[in-house]
């Protein structure tokens, strides 16, 4: 039996955390109302802002997973009577819809999970009038599709709506341009492409959104972005309530690693690794799951494949798990139908090679692939640049 600590984490988060980041958490506690913590918060804000491509003062860092940031964004920007256009083409778009129902009035726009967002359908809803806020997931991890954020940002601007974008599974692994795309609030999580442990959500909220939030009377208490913003202002640089200090140590170390690698290099590494997965699996007859259109793309950070005919995707996941590689299956209605491989954070080409070789063997054992041996060359060629 392979021990837990020897398993390779290849899920779309949580991901393997570099040793340096784990060690950072072993430091002693400090006063969270002191200069030392402020310096940590300040540096986390500055580096995060570079990744979101926005101003450092727009960044708030919350103790809580990605969903905490999603809830803060939806809840702080909307009163119950405000109409929220919730774009859904997967599990996390659906989560935004559920949150929108709690804090505002949902106008759902649902596409089959795995299908692309149709811009004409979005514009039709906006033209019907009165939409205050649009929510969308940039990188829909449940289906491995990249949704058209710049295009939705342009539509939000045209119709005067606020735009909330989930970049939970793409920030640090794909190109995000909050200011250029007209995103009012963007949200990420620590346990995906940043390769930190789970438990922190980073929110980028621009001036327009912050001014509007002041007028919202039903803002959540613990997740009040107005309070976070005030505490993170120039003189304080802290959080309104006691933060998970150890997770802040880890986040800072993880963000420093991103800086050392360089964002462009990191995005390219993510791209080449997902492309290698796609090239290798399609070469052995496995179909990719997402249906793309002219404005969508395959995810830069996770790949979703259809389970081959007659095979349950959960069985592929279980067989991989036995071989020591932890991948993901489908969620909810996609359970059994697809399987997913993450290539996020600190994942290396070697991790990708190992995963593909084990997958090929599993598919061989299931009688789907005739003989192992094809995937390594194909993936190696795609990732050749990473070996230079």
Which residues contribute to the site for ligand PLP (CB under 6 A)?
13, 65-67, 92, 137, 139, 141, 166, 168-169, 189, 198
Residue with smaller CB distance to ligand PLP, 202 or 353: 202
C-beta closer to ligand PLP: residue 189 or 308: 189
For 44-104, strand residue ranges (E) read 59-63, 83-88
Cβ-based nearer residue to ligand PLP, 82 or 166: 166
Query: Which residue number, 49 or 70, has a Cβ lying nearer to ligand PLP?
Result: 70
Question: Which one, 202 or 363, has the nearer CB to ligand PLP?
Answer: 202
The residue among 293, 341, 290 whose CA lies nearest residue 313 is 341
- Across 44-130, the runs of DSSP E, i.e. the strands, are 59-63, 83-88, 105-110
What is the spatial distance between Cα 106 and Cα 132, in angstroms, rounded to a whole number?
11
Nearest distance from residue 169's CB to ligand PLP, in Å? 4
Residue 175 tokens read as 């190109």
- Nearest CB to ligand PLP, comparing residues 174 and 224: 174
d(CA 25, CA 107): 43
Closer CB to ligand PLP, 66 or 240, in the complex: 66
Cβ-based neighbour number of residue 104 at 10 Å: 24
The first and second tokens of residue 166, run together, are 């989930």
- Shortest gap between Cβ of 171 and ligand PLP (angstroms)? 10
- Taking the complex as a whole, the smallest distance from the CB of residue 78 to ligand PLP amounts, in Å, to 18
CB of 60 vs ligand PLP, minimal distance in Å: 16
CA 349 to chain centre: 20
The answer to whether 169 touches 139, Cβ cutoff 8 Å, is yes
Query: Residue 67 Cβ, how far from ligand PLP at the closest point, in Å?
Result: 3
Distance of alpha carbon 334 from the chain centroid? 19
Shortest gap between Cβ of 44 and ligand PLP (angstroms)? 17
* C-beta of residue 64 within 8 angstroms of C-beta of residue 216: no
CA-wise closest residue to 17 among 261, 347, 338: 347
Rounded distance, CA 299 to CA 238, Å? 34
Q: Report, in Å, the least distance between residue 43 CB and ligand PLP.
A: 22
- Position with the least CB separation from ligand PLP: 66
């Amino acid at each position: 039996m392979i021990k837990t600590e020897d398993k390779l984490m290849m899920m779309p988060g949580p991901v393997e955390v570099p040793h340096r980041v784990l060690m950072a958490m072993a430091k002693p506690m400090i006063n969270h109302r002191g200069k030392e913590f402020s310096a940590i918060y300040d540096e986390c804000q500055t580096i995060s802002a570079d990744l979101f491509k926005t101003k450092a003062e727009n960044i708030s860092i919350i103790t809580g997973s990605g969903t905490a940031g999603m809830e803060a964004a939806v809840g702080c920007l909307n009163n119950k009577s405000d109409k929220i256009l919730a774009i859904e083409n997967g599990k996390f778009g659906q989560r935004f819809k559920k949150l929108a129902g709690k804090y505002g009035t949902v106008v759902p726009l649902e596409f089959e999970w795995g299908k692309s967002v149709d811009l004409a359908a979005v514009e039709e809803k906006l033209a019907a009038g009165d939409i205050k806020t649009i929510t969308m997931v940039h990188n829909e991890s449940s289906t491995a599709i990249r949704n058209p954020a710049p295009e939705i940002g342009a539509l939000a601007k045209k119709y005067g709506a606020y735009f909330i974008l989930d970049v939970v599974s793409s920030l640090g692994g794909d190109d995000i341009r909050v200011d250029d795309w007209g995103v009012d609030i963007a949200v990420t999580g620590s346990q995906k492409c940043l390769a930190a442990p789970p438990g922190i959500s980073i929110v980028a909220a621009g001036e327009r959104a912050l001014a509007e939030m002041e007028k919202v009377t039903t803002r959540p208490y613990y997740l009040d972005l107005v309070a976070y913003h005030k505490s993170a202002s120039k003189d304080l640089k802290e959080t309104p309530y006691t933060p998970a200090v150890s997770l802040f140590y880890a986040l800072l170390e993880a963000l420093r690693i991103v800086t050392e690698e360089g964002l462009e290099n990191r995005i390219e590494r993510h791209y080449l690794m997902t492309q290698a997965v796609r090239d290798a699996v399609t070469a052995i007859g496995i179909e990719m799951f997402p249906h793309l259109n002219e404005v969508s793309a395959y995810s830069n950070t996770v790949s979703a494949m259809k389970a081959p005919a007659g095979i349950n995707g959960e069985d592929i996941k279980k067989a991989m798990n036995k071989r020591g590689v932890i991948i993901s299956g489908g969620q909810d209605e996609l359970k059994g139908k697809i399987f997913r491989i993450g290539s996020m954070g600190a994942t290396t080409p070697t991790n990708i090679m190992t995963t593909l070789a084990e997958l090929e063997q599993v598919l061989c054992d299931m009688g789907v692939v005739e003989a192992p041996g094809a995937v390594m060359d194909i993936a190696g060629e795609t990732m050749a640049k990473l070996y230079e």
